[in-house]
Amino acid sequence: MNNKGFTLIEALVAIAIFIGISTALAQIISVSIQNQVNVVATQNALTQASFAIDKIGKELRMAQDEAGNCFDEEGSYKIEGSSITFLHLDQEDNEVCKTFKLDNGKIKECIDNTEVDITGDAIEIEALNFFISDNNDNPRITISIETKDGLLLQTTVSQRKNIK
């Protein structure tokens, strides 16, 4: 007998193998895409948290030596909960009170009574902490940011002595 074609069983087995391989590949692609989305979201959150901690650190380094009219306590900085207040010179060398605080999952920069978010919607901040050592002579401030996603960033800065 001379068979020049496939039997029905051979065709069904080939189709079943093809469907199995196609399903496995589709699943692998789906998982890869989901992982890529997660990586991009984490990268965006890390970028925003890194920007926030760098900005706060730069501003705290440039704080003035005295409190001015910002607060009545001794030292250059006042920490209350998740906020820090200090005297800052603006671009025209005017003394202004500046505060960084945590409010509804966002870090805000407050100059006098104007608030601006410095973190966007891609990140939700769980905790913003400030720790100060030696607030009078050469203060060092440790800034710690923790996100809802579990990212934890921390840095320590020391104040530069400014001459007016």
Q: What is the pLDDT of residues 35-92, one digit of tens each?
A: 999 999 889 889 999 999 999 999 988 888 776 677 777 777 888 989 998 888 888 8
* Least confident span in 1-5, 106-110, 144-148, 156-160: 1-5
Per-residue burial over 82-93, b if 16 or more Cβ lie within 10 Å, else e, is ebbbbbbeeeee
Q: Does residue 60 contact residue 84 with C-beta atoms inside 8 Å? A: yes
Res 5 pLDDT > 90 = no
**Local confidence band at 135 (pLDDT 50, 70, 90 cut-offs):** low
Q: Does residue 76 contact residue 102 with C-beta atoms inside 8 Å? A: no
| Of the candidates 146, 115, 141, the residue with the CA atom closest to the CA atom of residue 49 | 146
Strand partners, 79: 84
Distances (CA, A) of 11 to 18, 19, 23, 146: 11, 12, 18, 58
Give me the phi and psi of 13, to 5 degrees please: -65, -45
**Local confidence band at 136 (pLDDT 50, 70, 90 cut-offs):** low
> Tokens for 108?
């805000």
**Local confidence band at 162 (pLDDT 50, 70, 90 cut-offs):** low
pTM over 0.85: no
3 state SS for 23-92: HHHHHHHHHHHHHHHHHHHHHHHHHHHHHHHHHHHHHHHCCCCCCCCCCCCCCCEEEECCEEEEEEECCC
Give me the phi and psi of 116, to 5 degrees please: -135, 130
Q: How high does pLDDT run on average in the chain?
A: 87
Give the separation between CA 53 and CA 88, rounded to whole angstroms: 17
What angle (nearest 5°) sits at the alpha carbon of residue 10, between those of residues 4 and 11? Answer: 90
